[in-house]
């Protein structure tokens, strides 16, 4: 592929696609406009891809349409087959592909800089292009290996608990410092392709390693932040490769993804009362002195109830707040939950949904599930908007959530979730807690005092089955 100066029509097309990407992000900021946002994004990407293929003269229109049909078909089948519970790991897998694409483009440019138009007549890569190439390769490699580990944790291929290496901070800072030094040496060396040093492959190898080491010590409670962070990395890698390829659409898209992902990560960290650096340095559960081992710490008395008991108290309530978590996603209970809420509202009960910023395994996971069940947007509230209402609630209905309602986050400094804002469910008059059994604890690996409160009734069952039984009892 020869580097081609973009004609005026191509620059205009890229500008249109950039505007559509901005509109897509704007639309995705609200559940009510998210469908339109997705359409804007798809239209923008279609324009960008077709413009690039036509401009570079890689193929004719027929070949382009065939390629789009194949790729679109794979995406369509994947989207229809993927379960909502598997969406976080699918996102992590997509991030890994973006990272690897950046690495491959960087290596191709390093191997044959003349074909990319980034070298002079003597074959020396321009200094600016060396910066872009090295940064794109490093960020892409970190994104790839980090996303692979995130996928493995989310998919259950490896433990979601933090994996702590001795002197991990020293190792990580040493490798990161080495990458920075090697990039500086490569930029200052004036080297061209593979015949003039092997700095780029070494940088890539170290970046693969640091991506792996950065993610393995991060515990499950921080996984939504990790997914958002890796999304940001993939954007910056794409932007760097956009400069190498001279493609303004990639630069715009990468910058939008990178900046939006970074902002989202920052917002989530603030919502969790955590610093971004503390998450990267280890995350919740990284301190072995304060976490659980996946089992309750002691056997304590608790109250167990039935669906009939819950139904009777629910229909007597005036206000019910539902707190969904990943267990709801695993059981696919959102539709039954919506049916239960509708029946309660018909009986005059006020029903609201409380969404924690890190509920589930990726940002917005619970919002997507509730939207799929057509829960009205006006009934869904974020933590800071509804937490003060638990004191007036007759029932706090917890379905599949755990860490986000654990009061240890407010009181136990030794807890791995200490400092994370949680719902004040203990202030509700009655708490119903749906979980499969008392034998497990939350993703962060700590026991929950809410199980044993006087006003708590444990509903031990599959979430969907229990809610369906409550619906039958209400009917």
Catalytic residues: 403
Positions of E strands within 35-168: none
Are the CB atoms for 38 and 269 separated by under 8 Å?
A: no
Could you say which DSSP state residue 124 is in? P
Q: For residue 66, what is the enclosing H or E element?
A: helix 61-81
- CB-facing half-sphere around the CA of 25: CA atoms within 13 A: 17
Distances (CA, A) of 306 to 79, 300, 331, 430, 443: 37, 20, 18, 14, 25
Instruction: Write down the residue that tokens 């690039």 correspond to.
Output: 52
- What is the DSSP code string of 281-331? HT-TT--TTT---SS-SS-----B--HHHHHHHHHH-SEEEEEE-HHHHHH
Residue 92 and residue 225 in contact, taking contact as beta carbons nearer than 8 Å: no
Short-list 212, 26, 240, CA closest to 136: 240
Q: At what angle do helices 87-111 and 127-155 cross, to 10 degrees?
A: 150
How far apart, in whole angstroms, are the C-alpha atoms of residue 342 and residue 42? 34
Say how far apart CA 154 and CA 89 lie, in whole Å: 6
> Which of 30-36's residues contact partners 24+ apart within 8 Å by CB, and which partners?
31/367, 31/371, 31/377, 31/380, 32/377, 34/371
- Adjacent-strand bridge partners of 381: 354
Kindly calculate the radius of gyration of the chain based on its CA atoms and give it in whole angstroms.
25
Of the candidates 99, 100, 127, the one whose C-alpha atom is nearest the C-alpha of residue 113 is 127
Question: Is 1 strand, coil or helix?
Answer: coil
Q: Cα separation of 332 and 369, whole Å?
A: 9
Quote the crossing angle between the two packed helices 365-372 and 87-111, to the nearest 10°: 120
How far is residue 382's CA from residue 268's CA, in Å, rounded to a whole number? 12
Please answer whether residues 124 and 190 qualify as being in contact, where contact means their C-beta atoms are separated by less than 8 angstroms. yes
In degrees and rounded to multiples of 5, residue 419 shows phi and psi of 100, -15
Phi, psi of 401 (to 5 degrees): -95, 160
**157 phi/psi in degrees, rounded to 5:** -75, -20
């Amino acid at each position: 592929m020869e580097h081609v100066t973009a004609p005026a029509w191509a620059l205009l097309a890229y500008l249109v696609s950039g505007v559509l990407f901005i509109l897509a992000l704007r639309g995705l900021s609200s559940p009510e406009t998210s469908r339109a946002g997705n359409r804007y994004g798809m239209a923008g990407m279609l324009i960008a891809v077709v413009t690039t293929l036509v401009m570079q003269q890689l193929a004719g229109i027929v070949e382009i349409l065939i390629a789009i049909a194949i790729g679109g078909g794979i995406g369509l089948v994947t989207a229809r087959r993927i379960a909502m519970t598997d969406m976080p790991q699918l996102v992590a897998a997509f991030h890994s592909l973006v990272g690897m694409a950046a690495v491959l483009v960087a290596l191709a440019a390093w191997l044959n800089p003349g074909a990319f138009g980034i070298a002079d007549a003597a074959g020396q890569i321009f200094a600016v292009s060396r910066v872009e190439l090295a940064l794109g390769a490093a960020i892409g490699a970190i994104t790839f290996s980090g996303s692979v580990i995130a996928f493995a944790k989310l998919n259950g291929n490896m433990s979601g608990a933090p994996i702590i290496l001795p002197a991990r901070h020293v190792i990580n800072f040493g490798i990161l410092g080495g990458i920075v030094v090697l990039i500086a040496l490569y930029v200052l060396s004036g080297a061209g392709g593979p015949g003039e040093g092997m700095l780029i492959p070494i940088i890539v190898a170290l970046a693969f390693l640091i991506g792996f080491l950065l993610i393995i010590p991060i515990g499950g409670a921080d996984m939504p932040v990790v997914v958002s962070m890796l999304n940001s990395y993939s954007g910056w890698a794409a932007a760097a490769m956009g400069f190498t390829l001279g493609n303004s659409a990639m630069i715009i898209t990468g910058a939008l993804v990178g900046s939006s992902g970074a902002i989202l990560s920052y917002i989530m960290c603030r919502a969790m009362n955590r610093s971004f650096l503390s998450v990267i340095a280890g995350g919740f559960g990284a301190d072995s002195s304060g976490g659980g081992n996946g089992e309750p710490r002691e056997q304590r008395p608790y109250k167990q109830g039935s669906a009939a008991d819950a139904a009777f108290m629910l229909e007597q309530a005036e206000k019910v707040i539902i707190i969904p978590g990943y267990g709801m996603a695993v059981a696919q209970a959102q539709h039954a939950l919506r049916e239960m809420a509708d029946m309660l509202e018909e009986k005059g009960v006020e029903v609201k949904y409380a969404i924690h910023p890190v509920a589930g395994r990726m940002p917005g996971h619970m919002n997507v599930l509730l939207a799929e069940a057509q829960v009205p947007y006006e009934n869904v509230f974020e933590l800071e908007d509804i937490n003060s209402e638990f004191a007036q609630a007759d029932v706090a209905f917890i379905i599949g959530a755990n860490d986000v309602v654990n009061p240890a986050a407010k009181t136990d400094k030794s807890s791995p979730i200490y400092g994370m804002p949680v719902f004040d469910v203990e202030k509700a008059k009655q708490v119903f807690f749906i979980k499969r059994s008392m034998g497990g604890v939350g993703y962060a690996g700590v026991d929950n005092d809410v199980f044993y409160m006087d006003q708590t009734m444990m509903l031990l069952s599959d979430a969907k089955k229990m809610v369906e039984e409550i619906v039958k009892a209400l009917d």
